[in-house]
Structure 1
Amino acid sequence: MAFDPTNVDCWIFDLDNTLYPSSSRLFDQIDVRMGEFIQNLLGCDATEAHRVQKLYFHDHGTTLSGLLHYHAIDPYEFLNFVHDIDMAALATAPRLAGKLAALPGRKLVFTNGDDAYAGRVLAGLGLSDSFDGMWDIHAMNYRPKPEPSAYSGLIEAFGIRPETAVFVEDMARNLAPAKALGMQTVWIDAATEWGDRAKDDAAIDLTIEDIDNWLASLADHPLLG
């Protein structure tokens, strides 16, 4: 079906490479930190750490979930380490607060990151007051997108009616569970390494390249507001 914003009363957004452009390269810093964590944990070199990191990400949804599956680590220690990054790159990201405020209904963040990191990102984007709630990796009990339980937990916690919700995400594989539940889906094709992995065209109602321009177009929609 074609994307139709007129019956949407809940707007759900991924965080990384969604609310800010991939050109900010913020996640590149996290990627380096994850490699360093794995090197320290396993006593391996950078090449092996990179292999393990991407294997866990591919097989378990996040590197953290793979680490929890195979190693006795403290998730808070991992998250604090990998998210110790410079947020200065967000200063040049588009300012979305006004455009988000113009959307009718609730706005939620649905992220495989944690709330502390997400809060710093939102602050850096000037979006600290733009959202009505957040569903993070701790709330998911470390079973991240695209695990179905992550979505069902979000829906139950916030009383979401999937048929009147839209999910916006840069990782195509994370849209299929939302679509299966009845949500509309928007894929941000940011041309990143993993963005189109396991992409199912039938699970995507709309593909965009830029969230800033898309939100601007919604603000001009005659049936919204």
Structure 2
Amino acid sequence: MITRLSHVRNWIFDLDNTLYPASIDLFGLIDAKMTRFIQDLLGLDRDAALRLQKDYFHDHGTTLSGLMAEHGVDPHHFLDYVHDIEMDVLAEDRRLVDAVARLPGRKLIFTNGDAPYARRVLARLGLTDAFEAIHDIHACAYEPKPRPGAYQSMCAAFGIDPHESLFVEDMARNLRPAKAIGMTTVWVNNGSEQGREADDRAYIDFEIADLGEWLHEILGDRT
């Protein structure tokens, strides 16, 4: 392990577009279903529903949080609907599987999705037994990343010291609260949707393109 990361005891990973390449566009299927959900709920055309979906994402942290706050949507109903997708585009990434297995310390998933969906994704990636636990939106009491309470609930649930923790995310805005409480931050820069405001991103410790490659690099592999 490189010296700069010798303090890390807890390896925390986002799920979508972090453990698999954003280029396969699995989340695009979910995004389309969120738009359709809003169309059906509010009787909007696709363009109006999409605009509202993105407004909720930016203003509330997630589309779900906006729908809960503004329309009293049942989160279980929403998540069951939007996560009912095929996952044929996902395949096992043996290089990533091997690297995660070699990381010293605890390993967790921290996602704005739910645990049943996360387990399906992990199974397709060959990571079923790789993580101690999944801290999902239900466990966060529906307070999503990037709200500070989501990070506090995750740390409290597992007795995690943020100063001994590293968090990997594809959405830069979700790393700011992690850095604020002392975590080492890793941004998978792959074009995922970000916030609307300008951001100097000084809270990012590492910027990477491929998670598996980076993990092998920090583990000291040369090939």
- Which amino acid in 1 is paired with 2:71? H
Other-structure match for 1:217: 217
Cross-structure match for 1:180? 180
* Equivalenced residues, count: 221
Structure 1 Cα separation of the partners of residues 79 and 198 of structure 2:
26
Residues 1:84 and 2:84 aligned together: yes
* Residue aligning to 2:21: 21
Change beyond 3 A, Cα 1:95–1:41 = farther
Task: Name 2:169's counterpart in structure 1.
Answer: 169
Unaligned runs of 5+ in 1: none
Counterpart in the other structure of 1:206? 206
Q: What value does the CA root-mean-square deviation take over the aligned residues?
A: 1.9
User: What is the 5 A alignment of 1:137-176?
Assistant: 137-176=137-176
1:133 Cα deviation from its structure 2 partner: 1.1
In structure 2, what residue type is equivalent to 1:183?
M
Inter-partner Cα distance in structure 2 for 1:45 and 1:213 = 42
Paired with 2:184 and 2:196, the residues of 1 have a C-alpha distance of 18
Pick which of 187-196 and 201-210 moved more. 187-196
Taking structure 1 as the reference length, the TM-score comes to 0.93
Asked whether the equivalents of residues 93 and 126 of structure 2 are also in contact (C-alpha less than 8 Å), the reply is: no
**Alpha-carbon distance in 1 for matches of 2:194, 2:94:** 23
Aligned-pair identity in percent equals 56
**Aligned-partner SS, 2:104:** coil
Letter in 1 for 2:131: F
Alpha-carbon shift at residue 140 of structure 1 (Å): 0.7
| CA distance in 1 between partners of 2:81 and 2:148 (Å) | 27
Give the structure 2 partner of residue 119 of structure 1: 119
Structure 2 segments unaligned to the other structure (5+ residues): none
Q: Decide whether aligned partners of structure 1 residues 131 and 198 sit closer, same or farther in structure 2, where only a CA change above 3 A counts.
A: farther
- Partner-residue secondary structure (3-state), 2:91: helix
What pairs with 1:56-95 in structure 2 (closer than 5 Å)? 56-91=56-91, 95=95
Q: What is the Cα deviation at residue 193 of structure 1?
A: 3.6
